Amino acid sequence: MRTQVGIVGAGPAGLLLAHLLRLQGIESVVLENRSRDYIENRIRAGVLEQGTVDVLNEAGVGERLRREGLVHHGLEISFNQRRHRINLHELTGGRTITVYGQQEVVKDLLRARVEAAAPLYFEVENTSIHALDTATPKIRFSHNATAHEIKCDFIAGCDGFHGICRPAIPAGVLQIFERVYPFGWLGVLAQSKPPSAELIYCHHERGFALFSMRTPEITRLYIQCEPDEDLANWPDERIWEELELRLGASDLTLHEGAIFQKGVTPMRSFVTEPMQYGRLFLAGDAAHIVPPTGAKGMNLAVADVRILARALAAYYQTGGTELLNAYSQTCLRRIWRAEHFSWWMTSLLHRFPDTTLFQQRLQLAELDYVTHSRAAATALAENYVGLPFTE
């Protein structure tokens, strides 16, 4: 097989890249090691920045998002048993966020790919990448027990944090920056009316909790837990009890309903520099991870492939490699801003196992400042809705 861009991974990064390239008349082949059913039902992110929504709309895949996405003008922060609203819309000159499940974005992009009859292989095995520092890098994989090789002009490593692309880069090329947090999130989906129309980020002495949603009938809830928490420790009754406690003596009512999905996410910050080696370009979680507090992961994946698609389009139009050569540097500016914001939100809102009374007072002082100073609230708001694309 021969293609222009070989894409490993059909998450938001890989699928959106393939779509943006197709709009520019650039061919690609997408390889995914899971089944279509698995990736369409993998529950993850839910908050789209304004810029992400704009990219999806401009790419012609925003029709259902515009219909079903829940546009939010603000969020709440709860601490010391009180809730405080951050008016995102007002503090950012009219910007908003949209609640729409990542798996819905994936479904929309998959449908566009399938309707265009563009190449996409599910359940591939033994994916490996070769000759990255030549003009014809190759991807090998097997599909239905048959071995294949694709000769490409470029390879996009969109295969997430545990993928094979980043480890294929020779030792000594990449510099890794990493921080692992001593806690995780237990996430659940429940068939119940969300307790509030807006998200509530909750700082509590028992640990962080987050009240989010997917639809007006489905609540998405997160509870700080051990990084390797055993789900068996969390029967439904304990989850509701703990949420009730962490939400505190607030006037909100939790509507307990059937919990139909549970999962544990460990938390880390991770950045690799550069995000390119030869003709391999890494995008999304393959290149960087943020802890989920602040909801930046999928938004960063979208921002990366927007830059990569434009650089590849420039190359195919003019032969120029300027934008491709600048890819890492261009992306890393936004990535490090989001890394800082996610680390800051995580540090502000979680209970650290080795915390001291001094650190606890600092957290409360910062929470008080963020919820009472317009300047501090504006800094939170503009990062949360996402910095505008300037590149």
Whether residue 3 contacts residue 28, with contact meaning beta carbons closer than 8 Å, is answered with yes
Question: Taking the CB of residue 365, how many other CB atoms lie within 10 A of it?
Answer: 10
Q: How far is the CB of 293 from ligand DHB (least distance, A)?
A: 5
Least Cα distance to 332 among 306, 300, 302, 310 occurs for: 300
- Side chain identity at 180, as an amino acid letter? V
Q: What residue is closest to ligand DHB based on CB?
A: 46
Q: Examine the residue annotation and report whether 162 is marked as an active-site residue of this protein.
A: no
Q: Which residue has the tokens 């700080």?
A: 224
Q: How far apart are CA 220 and CA 238, in angstroms?
A: 16
Q: How far is the CB of 89 from ligand FAD (least distance, A)?
A: 19
E-strand stretches of the chain: 5-8, 28-31, 47-48, 70-72, 75-79, 82-86, 97-99, 120-121, 125-130, 138-143, 146-151, 154-157, 175-191, 200-202, 209-215, 218-225, 258-273, 276-277, 280-282, 288-289
Residue from 5, 13, 18, 139 touching ligand FAD (CB under 6 A): that is: 13
Whether residue 349 contacts residue 293, with contact meaning beta carbons closer than 8 Å, is answered with yes
Q: Examine the residue annotation and report whether 384 is marked as an active-site residue of this protein.
A: yes
Q: How far apart are CA 74 and CA 70, in angstroms?
A: 12
> x-or-dash pattern for ligand FAD, window 149-168, by CB under 6 A?
---------xxx--xx----
- Residue 124 touching ligand FAD (CB under 6 A): yes
Q: Examine the residue annotation and report whether 262 is marked as an active-site residue of this protein.
A: no
With CB cut-offs between 5 and 8 Å by kind, which of ligand FAD, ligand DHB, none does residue 194 bind? Answer: none
Residue 42 Cα to chain centre, angstroms: 13
Q: How far apart are CA 161 and CA 149, in angstroms?
A: 24
> x-or-dash pattern for ligand FAD, window 271-290, by CB under 6 A?
-------------xx-----
With CB cut-offs between 5 and 8 Å by kind, which of ligand FAD, ligand DHB, none does residue 34 bind? Answer: ligand FAD
By CB under 6 A, the count of residues binding ligand FAD is: 36
- Residue 33 touching ligand FAD (CB under 6 A): yes
- Residue 338 touching ligand DHB (CB under 6 A): no
- Residue 377 touching ligand DHB (CB under 6 A): no
Distances (CA, A) of 351 to 43, 184, 242, 348: 25, 11, 15, 9
- Residue 342 touching ligand DHB (CB under 6 A): no
- Residue 51 touching ligand FAD (CB under 6 A): no
Least Cα distance to 104 among 209, 264, 218 occurs for: 218
Sites for ligand DHB among residues 183-202 (CB under 6 A): 199
Q: How far apart are CA 250 and CA 270, in angstroms?
A: 36
- Residue 45 touching ligand DHB (CB under 6 A): yes
Sites for ligand FAD among residues 69-88 (CB under 6 A): none
The one catalytic residue in 19, 137, 194, 201 is 201
Q: How far is the CB of 294 from ligand DHB (least distance, A)?
A: 5
Residues ≥6 apart with Cβ < 8 Å to 138: 129, 130, 131, 149, 150, 151, 152
Per the structure block, which two tokens stand in for 358? 């001094």
Q: How far is the CB of 124 from ligand FAD (least distance, A)?
A: 6
Residue from 6, 9, 14, 46 touching ligand DHB (CB under 6 A): that is: 46
Q: Examine the residue annotation and report whether 222 is marked as an active-site residue of this protein.
A: no
Q: Examine the residue annotation and report whether 89 is marked as an active-site residue of this protein.
A: no
Own/partner contacts of 136-140, CB < 8 Å, gap of 24 or more, are: 137/6, 137/278, 137/279, 137/280, 139/6, 139/8, 139/29, 139/31
Of 44-52, 64-72, 267-275, 326-334, which part binds ligand FAD (CB under 6 A)? 44-52
> x-or-dash pattern for ligand FAD, window 179-218, by CB under 6 A?
------x-x-------------------------------
Q: Are strands 209-215 and 200-202 parallel, antiparallel or unpaired?
A: antiparallel
For residues 61 and 248, which CB has a smaller minimum distance to ligand FAD in the complex?
61
With CB cut-offs between 5 and 8 Å by kind, which of ligand FAD, ligand DHB, none does residue 32 bind? Answer: ligand FAD
For ligand FAD, the binding residues (CB under 6 A) are 8-14, 31-34, 39, 44-47, 102, 124, 127, 158-160, 163-164, 185, 187, 265, 284-285, 292, 295-299, 301
